[in-house]
Amino acid sequence: MNEACNIAAALPRLAAEAPDRIAMRCPGRDGGYGVSLTYGELDARSNAIAAGLARRGIVRGTHTVLMVRPTPEFFLLMFALFKAGAVPVLVDPGIDRRALKQCLDEAQPEAFIGIPLAQFARVLLGWAKAARVHITTGARAILADVTLAQVERDGAGAGPQLSRTQPDDVAAILFTSGSTGVPKGVVYRHRHFRAQIDMLREAFGIEAGGVDFPTFPPFALFDPALGLSSIIPDMDPTRPANADPRRLHAAIARFGVDQLFGSPALMRVLADHGEPLPTLKRVTSAGAPVPPEVVAKMLSLLPEDAGFWTPYGATECLPVAVIEGRELLRLRERTEQGAGTCVGRPVAPNVVRVIRITDDAIEQWSDGLLVAPGEVGEITVAGPSATDSYFNREAQTRLAKIREVVAPTQPSPAGGGGLSGPDRRDVRPPPPAGEGWGGGQPEARIVHRMGDLGWFDAEGRLWFCGRKSQRVETADGPLYTEQVEPVFNTHPDVRRTALVGIGARGAQVPVLCIEPRAGIARGAHARIDTELRAIGARFPHTARIDTFLFHSGFPVDIRHNAKIGREKLARWAATRSHA
């Protein structure tokens, strides 16, 4: 019998092959790693919890909010929910309270599982009022129907639990970070998770038996399917910029970690600490462009044969493209001259294309949408990990998705233009009435609009130019954040800059917000301003910027602490600019 299409399907197999092998280690309150789960324990305990959940009515298709810290309970619950065929709902806990309530209401949860503090907030703030089952991870069932420990006891001895989920069944609802608006619930189907696992394995050459250090906890859920052991970092995953590098290094060295994922903010923490990382073979960083100086420093701390990868993607589609750090550094000069940030070549079998910029919905794909070679447009992706909808957000789904009709078994057009990525099908409009396809029945697929701007170079590499919603439309034409900010970020006293626009689209005044490096005195601002203007004068597009404002510390996203909150900065700049 074929394995179910389910991210938890690998667990029983791994438990049978190596029951005593460590699946994950988690830090305790004392900072030690006395808490661990073998593959046998993870499989058996998640079976018991899945059976106990079923007794409480949490079964296939049940929307279940999970608000639990990255402890063993989080991973046991996630695998139990997947085994039950239930639908976990994950929301970043650090988002605005009103936005969080809206997210939970939109997800229509029937069950709420959380730590005692989350249960208290649920009652106090009116979260998830439709939920009929409430389970706490606490020792007593306060503000909840039952404890997780009791649920596990109720299901003990029930045996294997694995729902025969199908590829198109909904597997989870994962909310975006909301860095450019209210978070949206991305509908993940089981086939999306399976595709991600296959694509990550191939893109990064991941082999079973490695030891992973996933500083973004949900990524640890991939590790059993990839045959990896997880070491959960001793840090607050919602504040990677504040992580203690000494604790991270201690765990990496102690357990022989050879693979690490972290946001650009965490990479900066490790780079600034400056201690070599001799056991690492593979480092990946995503969430925002990684500053070139951080890439260079990280490569200097890694073994010569280790890879530093920066995959490009989003909650809605991951991975899209990838580039290795050494190639990224070779292209650094082009980035600092205004080309954008190279994010590499598309990950097979994605089809990545660049279309003309519009804020309107596009119902049906046509090749007339494509931009000319080298022209900046919106990045789109069609591929097995590209999700097809937002939950209860029809308007946002229409704005982000394009329906495409494709003819099967036809050769793909060869490269060029705004098209990149392998494909075995010819992308064509439907044939006229009465005429056949001449190669099988037509198929439909969803093309996801990334909401990012970019372009392809002659070598088939994708260059990221910034968020579409953050472009600045001036009377002299558009300006894109990632083609402007790296030019000014070359100044030695500047930590980072942010381009924002003030005024109505089409007549916006471009403003450059500047965050100086730590220790730079306010008295130096006038000098830095003059020097930045001289830097900007070197290039036609940056020479158009005449308003410079200094800021003490940029707002950043709650998930990776790396995406700049340009919308907030624009409002701030509007109150201070006399342009």
In the chain, the amino acid numbered 370 is L
* Ranges of CATH 3.40.50.980 domains, the chain: 10-181
pLDDT digits (tens, 9 = 90+) for 295-332: 999 999 999 999 999 999 999 999 999 999 999 999 99
The CATH 2.30.38.10 portion of the chain extends over: 335-465
Q: 167 vs 8, 162, 192, 246, CA distance in Å?
A: 13, 14, 8, 42
Q: Transcribe 16-61 into DSSP letters.
A: HH-TTSEEEEE--TTS---EEEEHHHHHHHHHHHHHHHHHTT--TT
Burial class (CB in 10 A: 0-12, 13-18, 19+), 539: middle
What distance lies between CA 494 and its chain's CA centroid?
A: 27
At residue 568, the pLDDT reads 94
Q: How far apart are CA 60 and CA 6, in angstroms?
A: 12
CA-based radius of gyration for the chain: 24
Quote the pLDDT of residue 429.
38
pLDDT at 119: 97
What is the amino acid identity at position 35? V
Question: The domain at 10-181 falls in which architecture?
Answer: 3-Layer(aba) Sandwich (3.40)
pLDDT value for 96: 80
Strands (E), 148-273: 170-175, 185-189, 211-214, 229-231, 259-262
The whole-number pLDDT of residue 437 equals 38
Does this model's pTM top 0.75?
A: yes
Q: Which residues make Cβ contacts (< 8 Å) with residue 521, sequence separation at least 6?
A: none
pLDDT given for residue 418 in this prediction: 54
pLDDT value of residue 440: 60
Fold classification of 471-576 (topology level): GMP Synthetase; Chain A, domain 3 (3.30.300)
Report helix angle 264-273 to 292-301, nearest 10. 50
Distance linking the first and last C-alpha atoms of the chain: 69
Asked if 189 contacts 170 with a C-beta cutoff of 8 angstroms, the reply is: yes
CB atoms under 10 Å from CB of 188, counted, come to 24
Domain 335-465 = CATH 3.90.1300.10 = no
Give the pLDDT confidence score for residue 133 in this predicted structure.
98
Locate 379 and state its tokens: 């990045």
Task: Dump pLDDT digits (tens) for 165-199.
Answer: 999 999 999 998 777 677 899 999 999 999 999 99
Whether 253 and 235 have beta carbons less than 8 Å apart is answered as no
Q: Splitting the chain (579 residues) into consecutive groups of 10 residues, what average pLDDT does each group show?
A: 85 95 91 91 98 98 96 96 98 83 93 97 94 98 98 96 97 86 91 96 93 90 92 91 96 97 95 98 92 96 97 96 98 98 97 98 98 97 97 96 82 43 38 42 91 98 97 98 98 98 96 97 98 98 98 86 90 82
What pLDDT does residue 98 have?
Answer: 85
